[in-house]
Structure 1
Amino acid sequence: MCTAIKYKNNFYGRNLDLEYELPWTKVIIMPKNYLLKFKSNNENIDIKYSLIGMGMIANEYPLFYDAMNEKGLFMAGLYFNGYAKYFEKQNDKNNVTPFEFIPYILGSCSSVDEVKKILQNVNIVDIPFSKEIPLTPLHWIICDDKQCIVVESTSDGLQIYDNPYKTLTNNPRFNFHLENMNNYVNISPDSRTNLFDSNIKIISNGAGTIGLPGSLTSQDRFVRAAFTNSVSTSNNNEEDISQFFHILDSVAQTRGTVHAHENKNELTVYSDCYDFNNKTLYYKTYSNNRLTAISLNNSYDKNKLTSYDLELKQDIKWVK
């Protein structure tokens, strides 16, 4: 399971939660004008904008989990099991597979407004990358500095939702999460006023958050992340980045707290933050809390994919 957020107008990112770690995951830079052959139509698609993101490379093909392009448009795919539905090809549509969707959108669009226009003619098709890499049921969060939307391909077709909470988790459908927020109108960072009995004393700070859900279900993580995101404050770029990871930490999964398939432990494999202004990706992994930063402003090969292994070993600063 996963959680993604947009913080303020300039920072996007996510926790990637799984019951297994991903040793093949890398930071990938795909340069603009890179020729990417789409399996959905067997044509080379020119990529208009360079991308930086998290993913894996299979047969020289980038499979992005999340990414941001040089214009600051961000996109992430989150697990959506039991609800995602992909379709057969339609001749009157732009057919795109789920694993092509991120480079298709980020390689073609510079804003959410452009994304909304292009999505009017998109069909997500049921074509796996290979026998070894089957399709994953996903829905997507897409953000720029002005807007945030959620895209779901379900039995009802392609659904596009404006996302006022700038948050996405997993099941069920996004319209459930929107409706569910009505149950938490009394949650506040301020101290609660005693309206029940004058003999009852408020004995701790944080009484305004009584009722804030605390489980690791996708429904509860959505509410908690949306609340924490909406009330968080920070004053400058470095504080903003640090605050972003604190927000993600509020819904992170610790090994042992959630038993998933075959009784395996689900954990937050990595957390990342994309800085819109500096076109930089910051990340940390479950095994290494120190932030690593890679920027699209760095020098990289403009003709091929550039990748960086994740820093997985705990980096500790020793004071002597």
Structure 2
Amino acid sequence: MAQNVTFKNFDEFKQPLQKFNAPFACTSLIVKDLNNNVYHGRGMELTFGEALTSLTYYPKGYSFQHLAPNKTPGLQYTAKYAILALTTPVSVFDVKDALEGFNDAGLAFSLNMMPSPPLNEIKPEEYKNAVPYASFGEWVLANFATVDEVKAGLTQGVVFWSEALEMLGGLETPFHFAVYDKAGGSIVVEVKNGALVVYDNPTGVMTNGPEFPWHMENLNNYSHITNIDTTIGKVGDLNLRQPDSGIATSVLPSSATSVGRFIKAFYFSTYANRVADPDLQLVELGHVMNNFDRPKNITKDLSGEGEQATPAKYMTEFTLWTVLTDLTRGQMYVRLYDSLNYQKFTFADYKDKTEMVSFLIK
């Protein structure tokens, strides 16, 4: 019996790659200290956004409620944990969409760009349990303490829907999410075939597209990665000696693409120096994240195509901010593009606050 065979030409193959273009890039990773405490690092790359990021604190007991697709009130839920988040207006209906954050139970998340087709439309009878997909991270932090709790809770009494985000050109599902807990648990949540897919993440790393399984498959092409310098070698009859240290990193991708950054983030987080002092481990994490700091004008995206594309009309991605988070001690450090130093925010700073606190970070 003949098997069913599908034939695709090259135009059909490349079409999914051309349909979506991510307007910003991010790198998310975790490292551990000698006591296995977990520290989360994340960089946010954008072509705009100065003076748009707020530090927002939600106390335990804060009530959240977003809109359903018909603009009626969706799911109402109360924060079981206090939350510190970096927020910015993404939805026209919510000026405090969380891009990055953690709660006082030690659960953290990162929202990273990865455009995909929207979630399946939800039914009118589900509107009362609706939460916009852009608010996924906030919902996670309000409700759960561990990655395992998140995985169990995703099937309980909540329905996510894809809002057309005018701030991002009408994209409906332009994100995927990394979630971490203070025990080292790590998952990635993406949209595929109209539904949420949850992947265990043994690397603790996430960048942008392609889909997470593609990155894991591509990692197999780097089985030769090591942090051991090979300074002396022999090729044929010729003895060779490396004149400097650092040759081990020559196997890493050189580009700042999401594919290249995933491999580099895996390398740097795997081999990051581990110490016993939490303050010093944050410094070590800062050095790791420096490898993903992106200055303005190093790469340019021309705003037009063909004859319309000129060097005078371009966008340049840069690291809007870098975040270091100590999941055990409840500390977040934020460095803006225009600053050499990190600002420190802790749950202890807001322990007496019973209402939401939010202000632009400068």
Cα distance in 2 for residues equivalent to 1:229 and 1:59 = 37
Indicate conservation of the 8 Å contact 1:187/1:210, yes or no: no
Aligned length: 309
Matched, 1:80 2:80: no
Indicate conservation of the 8 Å contact 1:19/1:260, yes or no: no
Matched, 1:7 2:31: yes
Secondary structure of the equivalent of 1:99?
A: helix
Q: Write the letter of the residue equivalent to 1:290.
A: N
Decide which of 233, 236, 243 is 1:194's aligned counterpart: 233
Decide which of 245, 257, 279 is 1:205's aligned counterpart: 245
Alignment of 1:79-118 (within 5 A): 79-81=113-115, 83-90=116-123, 91=125, 94-118=129-153
Alignment of 1:6-155 (within 5 A): 6-8=30-32, 9-40=37-68, 41-56=73-88, 62-81=96-115, 83-90=116-123, 91=125, 94-121=129-156, 123-128=159-164, 135=172, 137-146=174-183, 147-155=185-193
Q: Where in structure 1 are there 5+ consecutive unaligned residues?
A: 312-320
Q: Write the letter of the residue equivalent to 1:101.
A: F
Cα distance in 2 for residues equivalent to 1:190 and 1:200 = 19
Secondary structure of the equivalent of 2:138?
A: helix
Cα-to-partner distance string for 1:108-146 (whole Å, 9 max, x where unaligned) = 1111010010123554312347x5675560000000022
More helix by share: 2
Provide the TM-score with structure 2 as the length reference.
Answer: 0.79
Cα distance in 2 for residues equivalent to 1:275 and 1:166 = 15
Cα distance in 2 for residues equivalent to 1:54 and 1:79 = 16
Matched, 1:165 2:203: yes
Q: Write the letter of the residue equivalent to 1:220.
A: G
Cα distance in 1 for residues equivalent to 2:167 and 2:321 = 23
When Rg is computed on C-alpha atoms for both structures, the one with the higher figure is 2
Secondary structure of the equivalent of 1:85?
A: coil
Cα distance in 2 for residues equivalent to 1:92 and 1:237 = 45
Cα distance in 1 for residues equivalent to 2:241 and 2:225 = 15
| CA displacement at 1:247 relative to structure 2 | 1.3
| CA displacement at 1:198 relative to structure 2 | 4.4
Match of 1:318 in 2: none
What CA RMSD, in Å, does the superposition of the two structures yield over aligned residues?
A: 2.3
Cα-to-partner distance string for 1:207-251 (whole Å, 9 max, x where unaligned) = 222221110000000000110110011322122111112111112
Decide which of 213, 234, 248 is 2:274's aligned counterpart: 234
Q: Write the letter of the residue equivalent to 1:4.
A: S
Indicate conservation of the 8 Å contact 1:31/1:305, yes or no: yes
Match of 1:280 in 2: 331
Decide which of 294, 298, 301 is 1:260's aligned counterpart: 301
Cα distance in 2 for residues equivalent to 1:165 and 1:195 = 34
Cα-to-partner distance string for 1:34-74 (whole Å, 9 max, x where unaligned) = 11112135343211111001113688853110110110100
Matched, 1:220 2:260: yes
Worse-matched range after superposition: 221-230 or 48-57: 48-57
